[in-house]
Structure 1
Amino acid sequence: MLNFAMGTLYSRFMEKEVTNFEEFHIAILDIFNTFNASLPGKHYDAPARKEIEACFTEWKGAEESERKKVFIEFMKKKVKLSKLDDATMVTGLVTPPAAMAAKRAGESVPQLRMIKAIPDIIFVPSATVLALVSVKLSRRIFLGNVASPS
């Protein structure tokens, strides 16, 4: 079953004309984008650019008959299921009640009276999304687990 899926991926990959690294990189990212958009719940992390460059070098140097094997091995080894970290989970659980408490406290402060005009149904999800985005960004900045652009 896995070989069938990988064969289908490779067929889709080969539909595009791949002559240089940029086209190869775009084709790989397109595969991950298609996967993540079509599969509910599960998402996959794309490999780092350096790993894709190494695969491209090996793929480009391989004979036409071996290219599919190189691609399939790369996908088997480098495709990782995206995992939700603890900080994101805790933030997602704690932020809604904290946002409600902050809104109630802010309504009594004269400088923040305009906060009463914002409905709870808009305020709480907005605060939660902002908190989740800030946790993701801060983890990427401080831990450096982001695929480098070069």
Structure 2
Amino acid sequence: MGMIMSFMGKGMPSTQTLNMLMGTLYKQFIDKDVKEFDDFHAAILDIFTTVNSTLPGKHYDVPSRKEVQECFIKWEKGDQESKKHVFVEFITQRVKVGVLDDSTVITGIVTPPAAMAAKKAGENVPQLKMIKAIPDFIFVPSATVLALMSAKLSRKMLMGKLGNSAS
């Protein structure tokens, strides 16, 4: 069990991985012929489309036109090395790498066996005899998704209440 948890990892990816990702995105960016703001804006939109279609989970919001225009002004003034720095800084500020919290991981690990145990126990209760008709391959993933959704929702509600009480 410990090996599985160690392979899952925790926290941010390594600096080397992020540098490789940023290098790839910048290469895709400079392959476009960027001479004016509209070209720059289209290239940034293409980068966010790539990130959203490649990375699982949350889809990242594209920065506003004003933010892209401010970045373009900085980018346009710089030399080749500073242009790359401006681009990398802009992308890293706008795209955050998601990290799973402990409650999500624990819920995802604990729920499937608990769902199976609950289904087996529910089959012996006369009022829940119909639970036998639901196949395990439907019941377990459904229960897991519902548990993950409720864990995330309760965490957001708790954070919302904590955030409101602090102000």
TM-score (norm 2): 0.57
Shift of 1:15: 7.5
Structure 1 residues 115 and 63 mapped into 2: Cα distance closer, same or farther (>3 Å)? closer
Higher relative contact order (CA 8 A, sep 6+): 1
Shift of 1:115: 0.5
Please state if 1:101 is matched with 2:117.
yes
Question: Is the CA contact (8 Å cut-off) linking 2:123 and 2:129 kept in structure 1?
Answer: yes
**Residue type matched to 1:8 in 2?**
K
Mapping 1:107-118, distance limit 5 Å: 107-118=123-134
Q: Which residue of 2 aligns with 1:130?
A: 146
Aligned partner of residue 82 in structure 1, secondary structure:
coil
Please state if 1:59 is matched with 2:75.
no
Within 2, Cα distance between the matches of 1:127 and 1:101? 12
CA RMSD of aligned residues (A): 3.8
Q: How many residues align?
A: 134
Within 1, Cα distance between the matches of 2:43 and 2:158? 30
**Residue type matched to 1:58 in 2?**
E
Q: Which residue of 1 aligns with 2:13?
A: none
Within 2, Cα distance between the matches of 1:81 and 1:45? 11
Deviation larger for 80-89 or 52-61 = 52-61
Structure 1 residues 15 and 83 mapped into 2: Cα distance closer, same or farther (>3 Å)? farther
Which ranges of structure 1 fall in alignment gaps of 5 or more residues? 38-42, 145-150
**Residue type matched to 1:74 in 2?**
F
**Residue type matched to 1:34 in 2?**
S
Question: Is the CA contact (8 Å cut-off) linking 1:45 and 1:80 kept in structure 2?
Answer: no
Which one of 99, 102, 119 corresponds to residue 135 of structure 2?
119
Shift of 1:58: 1.6
Which one of 79, 84, 87 corresponds to residue 103 of structure 2?
87
Shift of 1:118: 0.9
Structure 1 residues 81 and 123 mapped into 2: Cα distance closer, same or farther (>3 Å)? same
Within 2, Cα distance between the matches of 1:114 and 1:18? 62
Shift of 1:35: 3.2
TM-score (norm 1): 0.62
Please state if 1:72 is matched with 2:88.
yes
Shift of 1:65: 5.4
Q: Which residue of 2 aligns with 1:148?
A: none
Question: Is the CA contact (8 Å cut-off) linking 2:112 and 2:143 kept in structure 1?
Answer: yes
Mapping 1:137-148, distance limit 5 Å: 137-143=153-159
Within 2, Cα distance between the matches of 1:61 and 1:27? 19
